[in-house]
Structures are given as C-alpha cells and as structure tokens.
Structure 1
Amino acid sequence: MDETTRPDANPTASEPSRAPQRTAAGGSAGSAGQTGLIVVGVDGSKESRIALRWACSEARVRGCAVLAVSIWHLYPLAPPERVGASPWWFTADPEEATRAFLGEVVDEVSADFPDVRVEQRVISGHAAEQLIALSSEADVLVLGATGSGGFVGMRLGSVARAVLEHALCTVVVAR
C-alpha cells in the first residue's frame, strides 16, 4: 500500500496492530469483524467538526467505532483576592457544559453517519496530554488543523503540534 491507496476495511492478520482490538460496542474483536478505534478531539472549532466528520467517514470504511473526546480545563482567571467571583462566561459546571456541547456536536455530525457508533467522553485536564494518553488506545487519532486559540496565520494549533510529536498511533490532522 502506498500513500495514494486507502487501507482495506479488514486488514490481514499479518499486519501488526499497535492498539487494542475493539468492536463498535467497545469490547474485544470477535466474529463481527469490526476492529479498531478512532479517537477524535472535539473543541468546538470548525476544524474539529471537520475532524469528527472525517473520523466518522473513516470509521464507516473500517467498520469501527469513533470516540469523540472533549477536554475542559480551568485556567487561573483572577488573582487570589478575586477567586470566588465568577466570571461572566462561567455560569455552569464546566464538565456538564462540556458534556452538553459535545453532545450537540456529535448529534449534528453523526446524523449523517447513522451506521457509525460514536461514543462520547469528557475529560478534565490539558488537551494535548489527555489526547496523547488516549493515543495508546487508538488506531487513529484525528484533530482539526487549528484549535480554538485562533492565532492568525497559524496552520497548526499547539495541541495538534504536541500530539503529532508524541502520539503513540497514527495522527490525522483534518482541514
């Protein structure tokens, strides 16, 4: 196989796998022939929606599941004397807000892929570190080309750059 061909939906037994084999339901691979896991980071950016769409399309071809992951992290927002004063944009439990947002994005994209199982996971922590850790479970990790940081002219976000440098599986950066 070269870079112009798409991998077969059912790789041969002689091809090594660096990730655990899973079915769409998340169990061990069995007679159903569905193996693998595609992890995709979803941060709400247009690029992360494109990444989720790409992951679902690829999962359909491979016959595997997608794990859509959103990671939240609270940065220090104020000096210690201001702690306890809630900023105007922080009005809900961050985990619940992230879970609701992820559900909306997954519902929007997965409507076009009814035959693909898309699981959701919300994690607290640093995005790059958490995605790198999840790469040990994945056959493929998919990210958007730029994140929510929005530096003008940057073609690759800092999270995508860190994941590309340290992931333990194939990484796809979708545009």
Structure 2
Amino acid sequence: MDERTRPDGGPTAAGVTPTAARVEVGPDARVPGRRARIVVGVDGSKQSRIALRWACADARAKGDRVVAVAVWHLYPLAPPDRVGASPWWFTADPQEATAAYLGEVVDEVAADFPDVEIEQQVLSGHAAEELIHLSAAAEEVVLGATGSGGFAGMTLGSTSRAVLEHALSTVVLAR
C-alpha cells in the first residue's frame, strides 16, 4: 500500500494525506463481549441494600456485573464522649470489619440474584471521593438516596449528593 491507496484498497484523492480517525470511548461505551460494571455504594443502611438489589436487577437485565463497594474511614480524633473508651471502629481491624458487613449484605442480596456476578471491594478513604473515582470506569453508580448518616428526614445524603454532582457516569439513587 502506498500513499495513494486507502486501507480498503481504493485510491485516495491526489495530494491528500490519509489520516487516522480518532474514536472517543467514554465509560458508557459498550465493548462487544465485555460486561459493563455497575458500581454500588454499600454502607450497611437499608437504602444501600435497596440500591444493591436495584443494581442486581439492572445487571441481570443487561448482562452486566455488579461491584459492591464499602469504604471505611478512621476519623483523626475520637468524639469527646469517647475519649478513653474504645469506639467500634477501633475494636477490630477496620478493613476486616468493613469486609465482614459488606459480605453479609452481599450474601443477603445475592441469594435472590444467583445469576449475577457481584464483586466486593473494600476501600479506605472518603466514600464520595472513592465512588467518584470508580465512576470513571463504570456504566453507572447506584446509591441509596440517604445513607447511614445521623440526619433523619434528609431526602439526599451528603455522599449521594457529592457523587451525583461529580460522577463521570450515570448515577442512580435508589429509595
């Protein structure tokens, strides 16, 4: 092939240099034969269990796989009423404790979705930041509208709000 021949064998216009086409592939682009990832934030709350169930039903319908993510974070200082005491997050290895509750939640939901692949990830950091980071390689991120925070009656939790505002993929808020 020379500069006057197209890759398909046809001639090019005289004096025109062939160029390669640039194809943009975003996180929602489907690659044939590759299952997309649905990332689900799981904090053990009722809302996160609903989110995991929704994600599994969606994954089953689309042939995708689910990545259940739990994020733990140790606060730099114990609350004043806990100084000298042993708060729950110091009673066990936080990675192991988080993996244990994530496993329990996934086992509970997976029983109803035996045909859906559910991967479990336990991360250390700030939940919203970690989920936003994971959204770059996800088809969608599914969260409970409110989480395990202590503000009853809120229609949208702080993690859900941050992910909704900054995610690089579709965000689904389950109720």
Judge same fold: TM > 0.5, yes or no.
Answer: yes
Contact 1:72 1:125 in 2 (8 A): yes
Contact 2:28 2:169 in 1 (8 A): no
The range that moved more, 142-151 or 38-47, is 142-151
Residue in structure 2 matching 1:18, options 12, 26, 29: 26
Contact 2:35 2:63 in 1 (8 A): yes
Distance 1:97 1:123 in 2: 12
AA at the equivalent of 2:67:
L
Corresponding residue for residue 146 of structure 2:
146
AA at the equivalent of 2:143:
L
Matches for 1:5-154 after TM superposition, within 5 Å: 18-19=26-27, 33-78=33-78, 87-89=86-88, 90-154=90-154
How many residues are matched? 149
Larger Rg over CA atoms: 2
* Unaligned segments of structure 2, at least 5 residues: 1-23
AA at the equivalent of 1:87:
S
Distance 1:86 1:34 in 2: 49
Identity value in percent: 68
Contact 1:21 1:35 in 2 (8 A): no
Contact 1:37 1:137 in 2 (8 A): yes
Contact 1:145 1:155 in 2 (8 A): yes
Q: 1:86 to 1:20 in 2, by over 3 A?
A: farther
* Unaligned segments of structure 1, at least 5 residues: 1-15, 23-28
Corresponding residue for residue 155 of structure 1:
155
